[in-house]
Structure 1
Amino acid sequence: MRKSLFACFVVFPLLFLSCRTDFDFVVKTGTLGFSKDTVYLDTVFSSISTSTYTLKVYNRSDENILIPQVKLAKENASKYRIMVDGMTGIDSDNSGIGDGKVFENVELLAKDSMFIFIEATADINDANPADFLYTDEILFGTPNNYQKVNLVTLIQDAYFIYPNRENGIVEGVDFGFDADGNVTQVQGRNLSENHPINGNELVMTNEKPYVIYGYASVPVGKTLTINPGARLHFHAQSGMIVQENATLKINGALSNTEALENEVIFEGDRLEPFYSDIAGQWGFIYFRDNSKDHEINHLTLKNAIVGFLVQNNAGTPMKIRNSQFYNCSNVGLLARFANIEAENSVWNNAGQAAVALTFGGSYDFKHCTINNNFPESSQAALIVNNYFEDNAGTETAFDLSKCDFTNCIIYGSGGKNIQLDKSDLKLFNYSFTNNLVRISDGDPYYNSALFDVLRNQQNGNIKNRQPGFFNLRNNQMNIDESSPAINAGTPTTLGQVSTDILGRPRPTPPSLNPDMGAYQNAPFPED
C-alpha cells in the first residue's frame, strides 16, 4: 500500500500539539463547513500518484466538537489516501503508519479549522469505463448523519515503457564511453517490435499516450516511427537514446484544432496545469554518433533539460521542419559536429542557449525563430563554435563547413545573445542573410570582425528592433503586421519553404517578400 503522503508529513502531528489538555468536546455532527464540496484531482496516468490536494474543514460554532468518524466511503478499498489534521488514521495492517482511510473521534476546537490532505493512485481498471473517472467520498459524522465531500480523479490509460529489474539490478542501455574507452550505460531498455504488453514499440501511434521511465533506446540499425498525434511523456531523469545506425522519424502533421490532434508532443509525465511550463522535468533526446537519416516534422518538445542532443550524425542531414522546442533548463538544441537542416521551426527559452551548434559541423537554418528570455543572466539565443577545450586547456578544433541562417529571427534578453567563437585551426564558414537579430552595440565583444555582417546590418540583416511576438510567456511566437520582420526576408528560400509553420502560404515576389521567422504575419487574436 502506498504511504508516500504520510511519509512526507510525519512531522505534522507535532505542529498540532497543544499545551492544554483540559478542553471539553461535544459529540456533534452535521455542522461542519468545507472549503469546497468536491475536490477535483487533476488527470493522472494509470497507476501513477496524483499531486497532494487540500480540503479545509471549519467548525464555525462556539463549541469544541468531536467528530465520531472521518473516513473514505470505500474505506480500505479506496484508491484515495487522506491525512486529517496531521494524523494518518487507523493502522489496519500494523505497519506503524495509518492507512489514511478511516479516522475516529477527531477533535476540532470552536471557531477553528483543520486541513485534510488528499492524494490517489488508481488504475484505469478502477475507473468508470464510461468516463474514466475514479470517485469516492470523504464522510464526516455517523452513518445516520454523514456530511460528504466528493473526490473525483480522471485516469488516463497509457503504454508504459520502463527498464526491467532482476535481483535488484536495473536494466541498462548503452550511453557512451568513459575516459578508458569502456562502454557506459544508463537505466533504460531497448524498444521492441513485439513487446508482450505494448506490441510494436518501434511504431508509436495516437491510440494511447506513452509514459517512459529511464531511457527508451532505439536499437542499433532500427527505425522508430512516431505517427501523427502521438504523445510521449517522460518521467524525471528519463528520455530517449537513438543508437548507432538507428533512425528517428517523427511524422507529425498540421493540426486543424487547438487540441493539436496531429502534432507529436514530447513532455513530462506530470499532467497538472502547474507543471505545464516548468523547465527541466525530464532528460533529453540523444542522437548518438553515426545515428542517421532523421526526419522531424511537427514536433512540440517542452520542459526537458536538453531538447535534442545531436552528435556526429551520419547519412543525410537531420531535417527539422515545422517543430517547436520550449522551456529547456539547459539547451533546446545542442549539436556536436552534427549535420542539421531546420525550416519553419521555433526555439524559445533555455537556461544556457536556445540553440548551440558546437564542435563544428554543417548547419542550414531557414525561416526559424530562435529566442531566449530565460530568467538567467548569461543565457544566449545562439552559440556557434568549432572547437573543444578540455580541463587542461588543450584545444581540439573541428571544421565548421557550413553554418547558414536565412530569413530567421534570433532574439532574446541575454547580454551576449549571439555568440560566435572561432578557432583558426579549422574552417569556420558561416553566413547571416536577411535576419532580425539582437546584439549589444556597446559590448566590445561585438567589435570582432565575426560580427561585421550583423553589426553593420549587411546582407539584409536588421538589428535591435523588437520582433513583436504575440506572447512570449505562452510561447506564442507569431507576429502581426507591426513587426519589423514583415516583408524583410529574401525570396531565395521560397522554393524550399513556401508555407509557414501553420501551413499559410508565403507571398511571392515581385509583389512582396516573405516575412522573417517561422510565422507569416497575421492579426493577433482578440481577447
Structure 2
Amino acid sequence: MPRITLLLLTGILLSFCSCRSDFETTASTGDLTFSKDTVYLDTVFTNLSSSTFALKVYNHSKKDINIPQIKFAKGLNSKYRMSVDGAQGNQGKIFENVTLLAKDSLYIFIETTVESDSSTPKEFLNTDQIEFDSGANLQKVELVTLVQDAVLLYPKRNTDGTTETLPIGNEKIYGFYLDKNDPIHGNELHFTNRKAYVIYGYAAVPEGETVTFDPGARVYFHANSGLIVSKNSSIQVNGTKSTTDKLENEVIFSSDRQQPDFAYIPGQWGTIWLQNGSANNKIQNLTVKNATVGLLAEGNNGTAASIKNTQIYNCTHYGIQGKNAIIEGENIVINYTGQASLACTYGGNYKFTHCTFNNNWSSPGQLAVYISNYISGAVPEAKNLTQAAFNNCIIYGSYSNEMLLDKKPEALFNYQFNNCVIKSNKNNNSDYQFETDPVHYNAIILNKDPKFFNPNINNFNIDNTSSAFAKGNSAYLIPLDILGITRTLPPDLGAYQNKPFPK
C-alpha cells in the first residue's frame, strides 16, 4: 500500500511540472504595470532623509520575465535611492537583471535626501524617473518631491563625547540652549521666514533672553521635541493676519512628519513650555498642530501670558494647560484633545474672550474646558483660583458634558461665564446653575448647537443660523475676529464672525 501511494504522489508531481514549459525567464516586453504612475514623496527638508514610499510592480503575464535594468534616469547622480525586493543594487540607484515571476509582483521602496548649500532656494521640486528596461520596452514611473530648505537645530556633542542635555528638576532631558551667536546659524533666538526650522530635542531659551518668531515662520518638531521658555526669559510670536488659506503670515508649529497621513495625528512632538518665572510672553497668530500639549504655562511672575488669534489642534493631552498661571486669551480656537482643550489647573488667573473651545475627540471622557484649583500630590495641594472668566465664548464638543469645575475648599475658586454657549449635563449640580446663579453665569445658551461649518476638519466658522449668532455682549467686544474680520453689533460668540457657508 505505501508503494502504491508513493507512485501516485510521484505521478501527480510530474503532472504539475508538465504544466509549465520550463523554469527559464523570458525577456521583458514592456508590459509591466505599476501601483502608481507618479510617486509623490511629500514635503521633505534638506539634509534629512524622507520617509520610505512603496511602489508595487506587477507582471500579469503567464511567463516569468527578466527585466534587464531598473534604474533612475539620473543614474548615480540621483537624489533618490531605492531597494528592489530587498536588494540594494549599485548604490541603491541601478539594478541589473531583475526576475519577476508570472502573475507576481515586486516592491520598490524609495527614499530621498537632498543636501543644501548657500545657493539652495527656499522651496523647490526634486524630480527623477524610475526606468524599467530600455529602447522600445522602456517604461517609466515619475518621482516628485517638494523640498524645503531647512535650518536644523539639535543638541551638540560635548568635548568629552557626551551629548548636550538640559536640566529639568533633578533630571536631564535631550535638549540644548538656543545660541544668539551660533557660529553656523547666527542668532538662533530669531526665527525668520526665510527657511523652515526643524528641531530635534528640546530647544530652550536661556535665562534673560527672548526668542522671537517673525510672521510666516515655520517650525517643525521631531518626536520628543519642543520649546522651553526658561525662568526670566520670554517668547514673542509675531504672526500677522494672512490673506490666503496658505496662512502665509501665520507662525506655524507642527510635526516634522509632513506626509498627508500624519496631518491629523496627535502627539507627534512635545510642547511649548512656558516655565515658572518666564515673563512678558506674547503670542499672536500662531497655529499649533499635533503636539502632546500645545502650550503649557506653568506658574507666573505676576505678568500675564497674552495669547491672541491662535489655533491649537490634535493634541493627545491638552491644547492649553495652565498650572497656577496667568493667561489672557482672545480669539483662541482649540479642538481634538485627548483630555481637555483648555485646562486651567492648580489655581491661577485666567481670562478668555471670544474664544471657541471645542472637543471632538472620540472618547467620552474628553472635555472642552476643565478648571481646578488643585493638583493631587503637590505641596501645597490647592492654590487660589483668583479668576477664571469666560466672555463671549463657545464651550462645546461631541460629548454630552464639555465643562468640568473641579475644586477643593482649601483655596479660592472664582469663576464666571458671561454670554457663552455651553454644553453641559450637570445643571442639577449646585455649581452649574446656569439660569439662577448670576454671580457665576450670565446670558448662558445651554446645549444649543452652534452649527460649526465642519469641526472634523477644524473649521469653526458659523453662519446666521448658529445659536452663537449675535448673542455676544458688546462690553466684551474684541473688534476683529481671528481672521481679521470686523465684528458687527451685537457680536457673535466665539472666535469667528459669521459668514455664509460655501455651497
TM-score between the two structures when normalised by the length of structure 2: 0.90
Residues 192-227 of structure 1 show CA distances to partners (whole Å, capped at 9, x for unaligned) of: 112222221212111111111111111101111111
Aligned to 2:88: 89
Closer, same or farther: CA 77–312 of 1 in aligned 2, 3 Å: same
Residues 227-259 of structure 1 show CA distances to partners (whole Å, capped at 9, x for unaligned) of: 111111111110000000001111111111111
Aligned to 2:430: 449
Separation in structure 1 between the aligned mates of residue 421 and residue 205 of structure 2, nearest angstrom = 38
The counterpart of 1:374, out of the listed 361, 367, 370, is 361
Question: What amino acid is aligned across from residue 374 of structure 2 in structure 1?
Answer: Y
Question: What amino acid is aligned across from residue 170 of structure 1 in structure 2?
Answer: T
Question: What amino acid is aligned across from residue 141 of structure 1 in structure 2?
Answer: D
Separation in structure 2 between the aligned mates of residue 104 and residue 126 of structure 1, nearest angstrom = 37
Separation in structure 2 between the aligned mates of residue 155 and residue 363 of structure 1, nearest angstrom = 41
Aligned to 2:9: none
The counterpart of 1:238, out of the listed 199, 213, 225, is 225
Separation in structure 1 between the aligned mates of residue 62 and residue 117 of structure 2, nearest angstrom = 46
Does 2:181 align with 1:194? yes
Aligned to 2:34: 34
The counterpart of 1:347, out of the listed 334, 337, 347, is 334
Aligned to 2:492: 515
The counterpart of 1:295, out of the listed 278, 282, 300, is 282
Residues 15-56 of structure 1 show CA distances to partners (whole Å, capped at 9, x for unaligned) of: xxxxx9962211334333333443221120012222222223
Does 2:258 align with 1:266? no
The counterpart of 1:420, out of the listed 405, 408, 433, is 405
Aligned to 1:440: 425
**Is 2:38–2:141's contact at 8 Å kept on the other side of the alignment?**
yes
Separation in structure 2 between the aligned mates of residue 346 and residue 269 of structure 1, nearest angstrom = 22
Question: What amino acid is aligned across from residue 339 of structure 1 in structure 2?
Answer: I
Does 2:140 align with 1:148? yes
Closer, same or farther: CA 331–102 of 1 in aligned 2, 3 Å: same
1:474 CA displacement: 1.1
Question: What amino acid is aligned across from residue 39 of structure 1 in structure 2?
Answer: V
SS of 1:165 mapped into structure 2: coil
Question: What amino acid is aligned across from residue 405 of structure 1 in structure 2?
Answer: F
Separation in structure 1 between the aligned mates of residue 337 and residue 178 of structure 2, nearest angstrom = 29
Pairwise mapping of residues 90-239 of structure 1 onto structure 2 (< 5 A)? 90=89, 99-124=91-116, 132-141=124-133, 146-166=138-158, 168-175=161-168, 177-178=169-170, 184-239=171-226
Closer, same or farther: CA 80–288 of 1 in aligned 2, 3 Å: same
Unaligned runs of 5+ residues in structure 1 are 1-19, 93-98, 179-183
1:104 CA displacement: 2.5
1:75 CA displacement: 4.2
**Is 2:69–2:96's contact at 8 Å kept on the other side of the alignment?**
yes
SS of 1:305 mapped into structure 2: strand
Aligned to 1:55: 55
**Is 1:126–1:134's contact at 8 Å kept on the other side of the alignment?**
no
1:295 CA displacement: 0.8
Separation in structure 1 between the aligned mates of residue 293 and residue 78 of structure 2, nearest angstrom = 39
Closer, same or farther: CA 123–488 of 1 in aligned 2, 3 Å: same
Larger Rg: 2
Does 2:351 align with 1:364? yes
Does 2:486 align with 1:505? yes
Does 2:465 align with 1:472? no
Separation in structure 2 between the aligned mates of residue 491 and residue 128 of structure 1, nearest angstrom = 51
1:469 CA displacement: 0.4
Question: What amino acid is aligned across from residue 426 of structure 1 in structure 2?
Answer: A
Closer, same or farther: CA 287–454 of 1 in aligned 2, 3 Å: farther
SS of 1:387 mapped into structure 2: coil
Separation in structure 1 between the aligned mates of residue 45 and residue 167 of structure 2, nearest angstrom = 28
Unaligned runs of 5+ residues in structure 2 are 1-19
Separation in structure 1 between the aligned mates of residue 311 and residue 130 of structure 2, nearest angstrom = 43
Deviates more, 1:467-476 or 1:29-38: 29-38
SS of 1:40 mapped into structure 2: strand
**Is 2:368–2:396's contact at 8 Å kept on the other side of the alignment?**
yes
Count of aligned residue pairs for this structure pair: 481
Closer, same or farther: CA 74–426 of 1 in aligned 2, 3 Å: same
Question: What amino acid is aligned across from residue 116 of structure 1 in structure 2?
Answer: I
Aligned to 2:239: 252
1:456 CA displacement: 7.2
Separation in structure 1 between the aligned mates of residue 165 and residue 486 of structure 2, nearest angstrom = 47
1:344 CA displacement: 1.2
Once the two structures are aligned, what percentage of the paired residues are identical?
Answer: 48
**Is 2:123–2:147's contact at 8 Å kept on the other side of the alignment?**
no
Closer, same or farther: CA 126–264 of 1 in aligned 2, 3 Å: closer
**Is 2:122–2:148's contact at 8 Å kept on the other side of the alignment?**
no
Aligned to 1:9: none
Residues 470-502 of structure 1 show CA distances to partners (whole Å, capped at 9, x for unaligned) of: 1101111111000011111111112xx122112
Separation in structure 1 between the aligned mates of residue 395 and residue 27 of structure 2, nearest angstrom = 68
The counterpart of 1:325, out of the listed 289, 312, 334, is 312
Separation in structure 2 between the aligned mates of residue 283 and residue 363 of structure 1, nearest angstrom = 23
SS of 1:476 mapped into structure 2: coil
SS of 2:358 mapped into structure 1: strand
1:131 CA displacement: 7.2
Separation in structure 2 between the aligned mates of residue 226 and residue 131 of structure 1, nearest angstrom = 20
**Is 2:281–2:304's contact at 8 Å kept on the other side of the alignment?**
yes
Closer, same or farther: CA 360–123 of 1 in aligned 2, 3 Å: same
Closer, same or farther: CA 62–194 of 1 in aligned 2, 3 Å: same
Aligned to 1:485: 468
The counterpart of 1:459, out of the listed 442, 463, 484, is 442
Aligned to 1:12: none
**Is 1:283–1:305's contact at 8 Å kept on the other side of the alignment?**
yes
SS of 2:434 mapped into structure 1: helix
Deviates more, 1:184-193 or 1:220-229: 184-193
Closer, same or farther: CA 333–144 of 1 in aligned 2, 3 Å: same
TM-score between the two structures when normalised by the length of structure 1: 0.86
Closer, same or farther: CA 68–286 of 1 in aligned 2, 3 Å: same
